[in-house]
Amino acid sequence: MSPLYASVAVLAVLALSTSGVTSSNEKLHCNLRTANISKEWVTMVDPCVKAMRDQINTELTASMTYLAMAAHFSRDSVNRPGFAAHFFKSANEEREHAIKLIEYMLMRGELTKDIGDLIQNPVPIETAWTSGVSALKQALDLETSVTNHIRNIVAVCEDPSTAKDPKDSEPKDGKKSENFNDYHLVDYLTGEFLDEQYKGQRELAGMISTLDKMMRSHGAIGEFLYDKKLLA
């Protein structure tokens, strides 16, 4: 058989096979069942899980707010590239925090269902600022709020009975909400997040102090010079 006829024969077989699959495509269903794996290794209790899910949205809201700040200072009518670069970096950091929390939850066997309502369309707190100082002050308030939320998670995961909402202590999906000190998560949040939060707050406080002094001494030119410093 010549190569040409062989190719035609192969194409004919493929066409027949494809048509058969296509005609019965609507009847095809995935019948794979999930493996029967013990859930004894999934030890996070509901109040702690809820606090972590809320924190993911807190981090994403912070990221969106920083993104709005970066966009504001990138406008041609504002034109503060140093501030824009700083806030773009901050937006990426907060997004990375949310990703780390999601990865941790998956590592602990959580977020295997009800994933659709995990991210609740976060929107920025504001979209315009009067000056670099006002934006930095809001950034400090935002970081302080994020820090307090993380501290609350630590408290809840060390002792779920401290959950503020009584509904948070109700068992769900067979999980118990009795006292359970989640040492691993508390250590992870303290070392991976709180240390960075406190250092970030101190950095913002110093930035506000320096910029405020420069603007009181030199007016608008002080903000212009500080913006150049941020690009250095």
The helix/strand/coil state of 195 is helix
Residue 39 has a pLDDT of 80
Tell me how crowded residue 190 is: count the other CB atoms within 10 A of its CB: 13
Write out the binding residues for Fe cation: 59, 94, 97, 143, 197
Over residues 35-81, the pLDDT tens digits come to: 788 788 888 999 999 999 999 999 999 999 999 999 999 999 999 99
Instruction: Output DSSP code: residue 35.
Output: P
Residue 174 has a pLDDT of 43
Say how far apart CA 170 and CA 149 lie, in whole Å: 21
Each residue of 115-127: b (16+ CB within 10 Å) or e? eeeeeeebebeee
Using the predicted structure, report yes or no on whether residue 213 has a pLDDT greater than 70. Answer: yes
Rounded to whole angstroms, the maximal C-alpha distance in the chain is 92
Write out the binding residues: 59, 94, 97, 143, 197
Residue 124 has a pLDDT of 94
Nearest CA-CA partner of 131 in 13, 35, 221: 221
Using the predicted structure, report yes or no on whether residue 192 has a pLDDT greater than 80. Answer: yes
Residue 6 has a pLDDT of 57
State the fold for domain 46-231. Ferritin (1.20.1260)
Residue type for position 113:
K
Tokens 């006829």 correspond to: 5
Using the predicted structure, report yes or no on whether residue 193 has a pLDDT greater than 70. Answer: yes
Is the Cα dihedral 173, 179, 182, 187 positive or negative? positive
Nearest CA-CA partner of 176 in 62, 22, 43: 43
Mean pLDDT of the 181-198 span: 95
